[in-house]
């Protein structure tokens, strides 16, 4: 199989230069690498620019309703476990209306790959701020204000007990391909945070600016080190790679001993008070 064998005949309608093109390419390359038969593949999405992606693939596909891709994909996978199931969507779809589904999908540990294509805004509805918009986001439309602090996707899924947590960038095709390959091959719920630019509402330089803040994890990085993954998730820079991978046979629930006391996000709070002020946990701009 080749990457083109996983493409439908539909031409994407994304804006020229949109990061979603790279994700489509990296995903189809990874599917070809894994030789997954298209008739044993389903790609499920919610609503948004990136949620158009299933229509461009040669697989079973469902462009569902806003924020509801995870429960639909979970039902599919539970009833047809032989179908490789990939979920894609944006930061607005996943972290706003769909947020409540993430920790439950994680704790059920259904064997899905969930990729959130995070461009820090709602592109389909013309550029309003999303839960991951940076604090300096300039908003011309919509109701939510940019003074809201951004949500930290990696911390969110790590603290929910996710067994596979990775980050990649839509402009780095080899890295995208490898990350999708590893996530799809992981036998459990796998989360990928994809930093993706929106050329139309963030401007063409945005993805480049974000990319300059990215560091690819070194070859000797130990992804089984949960405490280190938490540290990286809280950092100012964006670590790219598999930040955390729990051995599949290990328990799925996060236990207090997994977390460094400095993470400050697991009860019980020490009697002398938390090490980290609550405001630190929203972790700055997308980081
Ligand atoms: Fe991509 Fe932004 Fe255009 Fe949507 S509006 S297709 S996210 S560039």
**Cβ < 6 A, ligand 1 pocket:** 14-15, 18, 20, 49, 119, 123, 198-201
Closest CA to 90 of 18, 184, 146: 18
Q: Indicate which residue's Cα is closest to atom 1 of ligand 1.
A: 18
Burial (Cβ within 10 Å: 0-12, 13-18, ≥19) of residue 147: exposed
Mutate to test the pocket of ligand 1, among 52, 199, 205 (most ligand atoms within 8 A of CB): 199
- Measured in Å, residue 5 CA sits from the centre of ligand 1 at 25
Closest CA to 122 of 51, 27, 17, 45: 51
Residue 149 is predicted with a pLDDT of: 84
- Measured in Å, residue 125 CA sits from the centre of ligand 1 at 10
- Could you give the CA distance from residue 50 to residue 4 in angstroms, rounded to a whole number? 19
Residue 275 is predicted with a pLDDT of: 38
pLDDT along the chain (287 residues), means of 10: 95 95 97 97 96 96 94 96 96 93 95 96 88 79 66 96 97 97 97 94 83 94 97 95 87 48 34 36 36
Residue 6 is predicted with a pLDDT of: 97
Q: Indicate which residue's Cα is closest to atom 5 of ligand 1.
A: 123
Residue 203 is predicted with a pLDDT of: 84
Q: Indicate which residue's Cα is closest to atom 2 of ligand 1.
A: 198
On the CB side of 25, how many CA atoms lie within 13 Å of its CA? 12
């Amino acid at each position: 199989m080749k990457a083109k064998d996983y493409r439908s005949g539909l031409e994407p309608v994304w804006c020229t230069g949109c990061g979603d093109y790279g994700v489509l390419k990296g995903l189809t390359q990874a599917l070809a690498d894994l030789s997954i038969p298209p008739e044993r593949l389903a790609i499920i999405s919610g609503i948004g620019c990136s949620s158009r992606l299933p229509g461009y693939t040669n697989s079973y596909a469902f462009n569902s309703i806003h924020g509801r891709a995870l429960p639909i994909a979970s039902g599919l996978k539970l009833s047809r476990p032989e179908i490789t199931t990939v979920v894609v969507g944006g930061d607005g779809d996943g972290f706003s209306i769909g947020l409540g589904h993430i920790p439950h999908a994680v704790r059920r540990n259904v064997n899905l790959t969930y990729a959130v294509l995070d461009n820090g805004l709602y592109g389909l509805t013309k550029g309003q701020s999303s839960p991951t918009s940076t604090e300096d986001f300039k908003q011309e439309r919509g109701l939510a204000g940019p003074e809201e602090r951004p949500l930290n996707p990696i911390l969110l899924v790590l603290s929910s007990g996710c067994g596979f947590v990775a980050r990649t960038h839509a402009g780095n095709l080899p890295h995208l391909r490898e990350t999708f390959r590893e996530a799809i091959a992981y036998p459990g719920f796998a989360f990928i945070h994809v930093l993706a630019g929106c050329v139309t509402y963030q401007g063409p330089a945005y993805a480049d600016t974000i990319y300059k803040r990215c560091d690819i994890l070194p070859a000797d990085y130990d992804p089984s080190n949960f405490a280190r993954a938490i540290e990286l998730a809280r950092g100012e820079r964006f670590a790219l790679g598999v930040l955390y991978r729990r051995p599949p046979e290990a328990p799925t629930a996060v236990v207090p001993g997994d977390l460094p006391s400095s993470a400050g996000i697991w009860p019980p709070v020490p009697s002398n008070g938390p090490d980290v002020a609550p405001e630190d946990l929203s972790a700055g701009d997308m980081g």
